[in-house]
Amino acid sequence: MYKIAVIPGDGTGPEVAREAVKVLGAAADACGFKYESTEFDFGGDRFLATDEVLPDSAVTELRGFDAILLGAIGHPDVKPGILEKGILLRLRFELDLYINLRPVKLYPGVETPLAGKGPDDIDFVVVRENTEGLYAGAGGFLKQGTPDEIAVQESINTRKGVERCLRYAFEFTRKRNRGNTLTLCGKTNVLTYAFDMWERAFNEIGETEFPAIKRDYAHVDATCMWMVKNPEWFDVIVTDNMFGDIITDLGAMVQGGMGIAAGGNINPESVSMFEPIGGSAPKYTGKGVINPMAAISSCQMMLSHLGEDEAADRVERAIVHVLSNKLESMSAGAMGYSTSEVGDLVGEAVANPPA
């Protein structure tokens, strides 16, 4: 019996989370596992009503679950940063979700803006460090608000933090067993301290612990170029928090848009949290037009993380079926179906896998 925490969150978050839970139910019925879901109302509305972003007890309570499914965080009436830092980033830090795993996979039937590229060319995974770097919050103001103001924002890179991320990435590349190539994405020509350490650790760990994995390196700017020009060159990319944030938005576009891009915030030893990588899309809220595929894909990643491989596989095949035979577009309002109809279609395909 899995205990799943659901944080629907803001905007279209609840609409997409509902469809992810629907598909989870279909997978449980089809594969014979049991789960119990508990909903938490963290988000903008709760904050506006109670002034509380995330109660301290929440973090402790969430540790008692097997996994967390998150819809979206970000509310138009709340100053940017409060909810993102107070909920999403706080959970990433306090639950020590040190890996942000973001597959960039073009499914058949999904349009990519890259001319001449298809599903065979676009299938790689970004392993983003998720608890350090520029996101650590180190820095501050001096003489704030004066003409002499100074703002410092530092990137924190610990040897331990870098090593555990790299080991996860090497291990992941080995298990994936596709190209057996891990690319370190950095900026060793300018960030000569942080990425010097990343590069040394990368080569040391690779050489001694993962000799069968081919090591590659690309600067972050070049990575952006190759992701567009030759995405087929990538198998697994490992990078720091900030670069990972940026290149995975590019990755999301390459794989067909925010409607389809999923991710997992992972602590390999403890509870992990799965979320669509797009935001709360306030302008589509409550209209039933948002694409829930990214949330459904996140649910598939969760099943795979829980070791429910058969269920994960069934959900992925259902997603592929619906994407290639049903949806007219990945964009909100243009799918040819409502949000909940898309969830129904995937659920049906999970229950009765099409030949």
Q: Which residues make up the interface to ligand IPM (CB under 6 A)?
A: 84, 88-89, 245, 277
Cβ closest to ligand IPM, residue 123 vs residue 245: 245
Cβ closest to ligand IPM, residue 88 vs residue 315: 88
Q: Smallest distance, Å, CB 21 to ligand IPM?
A: 20
Q: Are 333 and 281 in contact (CB under 8 A)?
A: no
- 184 interacts with, out of ligand IPM, Mn ion, none, CB within 5 to 8 A per kind: none
- 350 interacts with, out of ligand IPM, Mn ion, none, CB within 5 to 8 A per kind: none
- 330 interacts with, out of ligand IPM, Mn ion, none, CB within 5 to 8 A per kind: none
Q: Which residue has the tokens 């925010």?
A: 258
Q: Smallest distance, Å, CB 277 to ligand IPM?
A: 6
Cβ closest to ligand IPM, residue 15 vs residue 245: 245
Q: Which residues contact 68 (CB under 8 A, 6 or more apart)?
A: 4, 5, 6, 7, 62, 91, 271, 272, 273, 274
- 53 interacts with, out of Mn ion, ligand IPM, none, CB within 5 to 8 A per kind: none
Q: Smallest distance, Å, CB 280 to Mn ion?
A: 13
Cβ closest to ligand IPM, residue 59 vs residue 250: 250
Q: Smallest distance, Å, CB 92 to ligand IPM?
A: 8
Distance CA 185, CA 188 (A): 9
Cβ closest to Mn ion, residue 245 vs residue 275: 245
Residue number of the CB closest to ligand IPM reads 84
- The token pair that represents 332 in the structure block: 């909100």
Of 283, 299, 294, nearest to 259 by C-alpha is 294
Judged by the rule CB under 5 A, the positions of this chain that interact with Mn ion are 245
- 88 interacts with, out of Mn ion, ligand IPM, none, CB within 5 to 8 A per kind: ligand IPM
Cβ closest to ligand IPM, residue 58 vs residue 294: 294
Cβ closest to ligand IPM, residue 205 vs residue 266: 266
User: Is the Cα dihedral 62, 264, 314, 316 positive or negative?
Assistant: positive
Q: Which residues contact 42 (CB under 8 A, 6 or more apart)?
A: 7, 9, 53, 54, 58, 87
Q: Are 299 and 318 in contact (CB under 8 A)?
A: no
User: Is the Cα dihedral 26, 30, 35, 36 positive or negative?
Assistant: positive
Cβ closest to ligand IPM, residue 281 vs residue 335: 281
Q: Smallest distance, Å, CB 73 to ligand IPM?
A: 6
Angular region, 218: left φ>0, alpha ψ -120 to 50, beta rest:
beta
Residue 105 β-bridge partners: 123
Q: Smallest distance, Å, CB 245 to Mn ion?
A: 4
CA distances from 279 to 44, 221, 257, 310, 343 (A): 13, 24, 12, 29, 19
Q: Which residues contact 56 (CB under 8 A, 6 or more apart)?
A: none
Cβ closest to ligand IPM, residue 245 vs residue 308: 245
Q: Smallest distance, Å, CB 28 to ligand IPM?
A: 27
DSSP string, 205-219: HHHHH-TTSEEEEEE
Residue number of the CB closest to Mn ion reads 245
- The token pair that represents 221 in the structure block: 């700017």
DSSP string, 158-195: -HHHHHHHHHHHHHHHHHH-SS-EEEEEE-TTT-TTHH
Q: Smallest distance, Å, CB 251 to ligand IPM?
A: 11
- 84 interacts with, out of Mn ion, ligand IPM, none, CB within 5 to 8 A per kind: ligand IPM
**DSSP tally for the chain: helices H, then strands E:** 12, 12
Q: Smallest distance, Å, CB 99 to ligand IPM?
A: 13
